């Protein structure tokens, strides 16, 4: 039996893409140097996270569905349910 399932994702991009972006920023802004031990690593990440949350940094998602269909049409088909 074939089923069609709908899953909620945030308005501007999927949660997985947002997590990937956050890890990329974390890597560039916080983890781009040698960190000597796990306690220092935890402290650095906590400080980075606190500052980022205080600034209320948001992801500016620019990749729209039409762009996705143009670049990866087989993964983003048009679905007509009528």
Rounded to whole angstroms, the Cα distance separating 81 from 65 reads 18
Rounded to whole angstroms, the Cα distance separating 19 from 23 reads 6
pLDDT of residue 70: 73
What string of pLDDT tens digits covers the 82 residues of the chain?
677 767 666 665 667 777 888 899 999 999 999 999 999 999 999 999 999 999 998 877 676 767 766 776 666 666 666 5
Which of 55, 61, 31, 60 has its CA nearest to residue 43?
31
């Amino acid at each position: 039996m074939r089923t069609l399932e709908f899953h909620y994702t945030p308005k501007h991009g999927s949660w997985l893409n947002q997590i990937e972006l956050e890890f990329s920023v974390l890597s560039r802004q916080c983890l781009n140097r040698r960190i000597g031990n796990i306690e220092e690593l935890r402290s650095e990440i906590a400080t980075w996270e606190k500052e980022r949350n205080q600034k209320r940094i948001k992801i500016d998602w620019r990749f729209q569905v039409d762009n996705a269909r143009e670049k990866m049409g087989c993964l983003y088909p048009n679905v007509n349910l009528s």
